[in-house]
Structure 1
Amino acid sequence: MYLDFLVKVPTVKGKITRRKKSNVVYIEYEYDRVYDPSRKYTFPKRVTIGKLSDTDPELMKPNQNFLKYFPDAELPESKNRTSRSSCLRVGTYFVLRKIIEECSLNDILGKYFGSRDMGLFLDLAVYSIIAENNAAQYYPDYTYNHPLFTEKMKQYSDSTVLDFLNSVTDDQSTGFLNTWNESRNYHEKIYISYDSTNKNCQAGDIKMVEFGHPKVDMGEPVFNYAVAYDTHNQEPLFYEKYPGSLNDISQLQFMLDKASGYGYKKIGFILDRGYFSCENIQYMDKCGYSFVIMVKGMSALVNELILENKGTFENKRVNNIYEYGVYGKTIRHKLYASDKKERYFHLYHSISKESAERIEIENRINQMTQYLKKYQNKVKEFGPGFEKYFNL
């Protein structure tokens, strides 16, 4: 499907090819090259990204492949779109519409948005799921060949989308989360899987954006966001956003207060090792929440427990957990010196992982051995990496 606007033909040296078929000139992009050793020839792999304009040889009408391989290309800000494709992609839309109905999202959102805004809100949510993209500039292309929730399936421009997103208030977001969590069964035991991540931000002066500890450091300020998820019912419960300077350990206590404020009592948390600290453990005890948390294996306590139990369970069939291909053992021990109760520590050992790591070490030692032999009977200094395996 070709989009109903024109863009400049990309100028990528040696990658753009023009192929004429009948009376149409197609623009092809070479995205890879594959070498065939039997024929001793390199074959280019190309994909059509558009067709040349009839009036201007510098412009072309793009397709979805163009958006895939040139996501940062400059697109027209406004698109004169008054028609819709003759073929709509409805399958995933029907599934998501059924889920929306079962979750009563129309009733909940109707308390905080008007009919137009609610339809656009749902369309943006469904767009992000179906297209796996949340860029407003591509939303009009999505509306061209997908059914919509807006009244009479009205199509809105990317500028209207941005205006709508800017108009959403904190009160609307908070109100939605409050109403959504009010419908939960507080008497049912649930397990919440909770994790957070951060995003680099280039949007300029935003209050919550700060320099912190990003997972991918691009030298930009970041913001943090987190999602709490009910693992049993497979439903998201609430989300949070934090300034970029806050670490995972500090975030957890804010989240526990929020869960308590929503009225959750009989819950357990499944947490990553980034939240492991004595303060967080004590805080969860104070709130009366149970938890399963991955610990940092090289911390003094954990390392000590592993060494004490090494060799006691790794080869015993009674300790085999067939479903996961590991051997396991549970022990009881205090987490820290002043701990008021013993905790359950679950130790696991993977034979396949041990084998892979052993092969990796053997290959490393063999490579280092060959390197050492090159300097036999010569004077040379070697780094500390060699001293770990060799007596120099």
Structure 2
Amino acid sequence: MGIIYSKNQKTGITYAYDNKPYWDPEKKQSRATRKLIGKVDPVTGEIVETRPYRKRAAEPSEKPKQGPIPVLNTERKFMGASYLMDQIGKETGVEQDLKLCFPNEYKQILSLAYYLIMEENNSLSRFSHWHRLHRHPFGKDIASQRSSELFQSITEDQRMNFFKKQGKRRIEKEYWAFDTTSISSYSDTLAQVKMGKNKEGDRLPQFNLALLFGEESGLPFYYRKLPGNITDVKTIKRLMQEFDVMGYQKVNMVLDRGFYSKENINWVYQSHQKFLIGLRLNLNYVKEVLEQERDNLQLWSNLDPQFGTYGICRSIEWEYTQDRPRKGDVLTEKRRAYLHLFYNDEKAAKDRVDQNELYTQLYYELTHNERKDYHAKDYAKYFDVVETPKRGVKVTAKEDVMKAEIRNYGYFAMLSNDVRDPFEALCLYRSKDIVEKGFGNLKDRLNFRRMQVSSELALDGKLFVGFIALIYLSYLKKKMQEAKLFDRWTLQGVLDEVDLIEVFQAPEVGKVIGEVTKKQKELFLSLGITPPSL
């Protein structure tokens, strides 16, 4: 017994059948009976059940239309911003996917996400006040205790199912930018809160969050929580494994150079995925090609005026290795890859300033006995330190090392197994900035810089609701950028302006939407959304 699929070539509809094999004693061969289950939704891949023909025939040809839900109370609330969120949920498919994955809780999840977006930096304890003034999907108050219960009810299976559905809407259409950030927490009860070094170099109790963004859509559709002491380079193998679980067969990834290791590149090749990754200039094969092309790289013919950057691409052979436990050997072969080298004058000037500031900071820490653990390797790399009882500490710069650093100011490199044009690679690589912006939105706008939860389940659930809010926020910001609204508006200004639209309801009159001003209509239309009306 199993499910088989058959596509009608005329209509393009794929049908799912319950296939039951049996043995035909007369013909002495295996046969099968098929029973129609339903149609396959082309977007979600879900099987939509159909009713038997006889049952349909016995039913009346037209069902009586369901009347409107009667209005039982009188109230007046703001609804414009919630209406905007509703339309974004339909455009992105988030509302539909949440409804399929969380049939009983999706309205509460949406209402909490709306609140996080509209009430910048406010804690969830103020939801009750916001609810009294605003229309939202759940339509009821969600007290702090109820929101905690909701967070703890969200399961890993539901989350992964949602990721699958969102990913299928964009897979093979764009490159995916992947990066991690750290979120501080002072809870002693969270297993993954560990001492780690954040992007600013501070050592704090924290956990890490990995985010995957679509380069073209600008939307996130996957995240994973990691222990605070896990470095970026250790996350790729698990990411490839989860791609398999979620059914992502063809993925194009953009990765920061912090994810680079020979093992990781081999894993991506082994998973048959496409990638573009930043490289460090101290890698032997990068140094070899850079020395060969250093003079050619700054020729006018290799300049792209749009980026103000020189760039070239050289085809190289990647030394691919793969352990094969079943065969008890290691497969070694060459794979084609494309090494992109770049030079930018502005970056050269900035590298000089940044590196000099680092030298000054390191020298001060050494001479004033204020050493930092995370600078230990830098001290040894750039300075000789001699300490004697009489003369104290003597710090001398390693000028040969510093000269080597100067030689590479302004240069940077990337590696890909797919992109051949250097400036296409540069454009794609810069798109990973959307992940940094996403982290900023999550921490600052959605108040996730310090997580105040007391259990793993509550943390997982709150992160998921914040992730849903981040999808809406990212979509809105992208639309505002495309319409150049940031020249005249802030994001909060747009939300405040459209939220002034009211909805009034009473038993005698039903629901009535208040006046929509010309300015509000223009904002909705600029965002590609039809203004609200009855």
Do both proteins adopt the same fold according to a TM-score greater than 0.5, normalized to the shorter chain? yes
Partners of 1:381 and 1:168 in 2: CA distance: 57
* 1:272 maps to amino acid: D
Any stretches of 5+ residues in structure 1 without a counterpart? 1-83, 366-378
Distance 1:304 1:156 in 2: 61
Contact 2:318–2:334 (CA<8 Å) still a contact in 1?
no
Deviation at 1:323, TM superposition (A): 1.6
Q: 2:157 maps to what in 1?
A: 171
Matched-pair contact (CA < 8 Å) for 1:301–1:335: no
Q: How does 1:128-167 map to 2 (within 5 A)?
A: 128-133=116-121, 135-150=123-138, 153-167=139-153
State the alpha-carbon separation in 2 of the partners of residues 112 and 361 from structure 1.
50
Cross-structure match for 1:276: 260
Q: Helix, strand or coil: the match of 2:110?
A: helix
Q: Aligned to 2:210, what secondary structure does the other structure show?
A: strand
Instruction: Summarize the alignment of residues 1-392 of structure 1 with structure 2, pairs less than 5 Å apart.
Output: 88=78, 90-115=79-104, 117-133=105-121, 135-150=123-138, 153-181=139-167, 183-184=168-169, 188-215=172-199, 219-314=203-298, 316-335=299-318, 340-356=334-350, 383-385=395-397
Task: Decide which structure has greater helix share.
Answer: 2
CA distance in structure 2 between the partners assigned to 1:164 and 1:364 by the alignment: 47
Q: Taking structure 1 as reference, are residues 307 and 85 closer, same or farther at Cα in structure 2, changes over 3 Å only? A: farther
Q: Is the 8 A contact 1:189 1:267 kept in 2?
A: no
**Counterparts of 2:304 and 2:235 in 1: how far apart (Å)?**
34
Q: Give deviations 1:86-144, integer Å, cap 9, x for gaps.
A: 773x44433221121233433332334355x3222101222223334473234344435
CA distance change for structure 1 residues 272 and 134 in 2, over 3 Å: closer, same or farther? farther
Q: Deviations over 1:144-194 (max 9, x none)?
A: 5443111xx22323333223212323233233334444x4366x4532111
Distance 1:363 1:127, change over 3 A: closer
Judging changes above 3 Å, is the alpha-carbon distance between structure 1 residues 382 and 160 closer, same or farther for their aligned structure 2 residues?
A: same
- Alpha-carbon RMSD across the aligned residues, in angstroms, is 3.7
Cα–Cα, structure 1 residues 134 and 171, in superposed 2: closer, same or farther, change >3 Å?
Answer: farther
**Alignment-derived partner of residue 327 in structure 2:** none
How far apart are 1:202 and its partner, in Å?
1.2
Q: Deviations over 1:363-392 (max 9, x none)?
A: 999xxxxxxxxxxxxx999742396699xx
Structure 2 distance, partners of 1:170, 1:261, is: 13
Bigger relative contact order (CA 8 A; separation at least 6): 2
Change in 2 beyond 3 A, CA 1:281/1:381 = closer
Which stretch shows the higher mean deviation, 335-344 or 220-229? 335-344
| Structure 2 segments unaligned to the other structure (5+ residues) | 1-73, 321-331, 360-390, 404-534
Q: Is this contact kept in 2: 1:85–1:145, CA < 8 A?
A: no
| Secondary structure, counterpart of 1:311 in structure 2 | helix
For residues 137 and 226 of structure 1, the distance between their equivalents in structure 2, rounded to whole angstroms, comes to 27
SS at match of 1:234: coil
Post-superposition Cα deviations, 1:247-277, rounded to whole Å, max 9, x if no partner, equal: 2222111111111222222321111111101
In the aligned structure 1, how far is the partner of 2:125 from the partner of 2:352? 50
Change (3 A) 1:360 1:237: closer
What is the CA-CA distance between 1:297 and the residue it aligns to? Answer: 2.5
| CA deviations over 1:284-306 (Å, ceiling 9, x no partner) | 11111111001123334333432
1:347 positional shift: 1.0
Q: Structure 1's 320 and 184: CA in aligned 2 closer, same or farther, altered over 3 A?
A: same
Following the alignment from structure 1 to structure 2, what is the Cα–Cα distance between the partners of residues 257 and 134?
37
**C-alpha contact 1:189 1:266 (8 A) present in aligned 2:** no
Q: What secondary structure, in the 3-state scheme, does the structure 1 residue paired with 2:341 have?
A: strand
Alpha-carbon distance change, 270 to 156 in structure 1, aligned in 2, over 3 angstroms: same
Give the Cα–Cα distance (whole angstroms) in 2 for the partners of residues 135 and 259 of structure 1.
34
Cα distance in 1 between the residues matched to 2:352 and 2:227:
42
Aligned residues: 288
| Distance in structure 1 (CA, Å) of the matches to 2:175 and 2:355 | 39
The equivalent of 1:70 in structure 2 is none
Q: Name the amino acid aligned to 1:95.
A: L
Q: What is the deviation of 1:201?
A: 1.9
* Match of residue 12 from structure 1: none
CA distance in 2, matches of 1:199, 1:358: 31
TM-score w.r.t. the length of structure 1 is 0.62
- TM-score, length of structure 2 as denominator length: 0.47
Partners of 1:190 and 1:361 lie apart in 2 by 35
CA–CA distance in 2 between the matches of 1:356 and 1:263?
A: 43
SS at match of 1:264: coil
Is the 2:77–2:135 contact (alpha carbons within 8 Å) kept by the matching residues of 1?
A: no
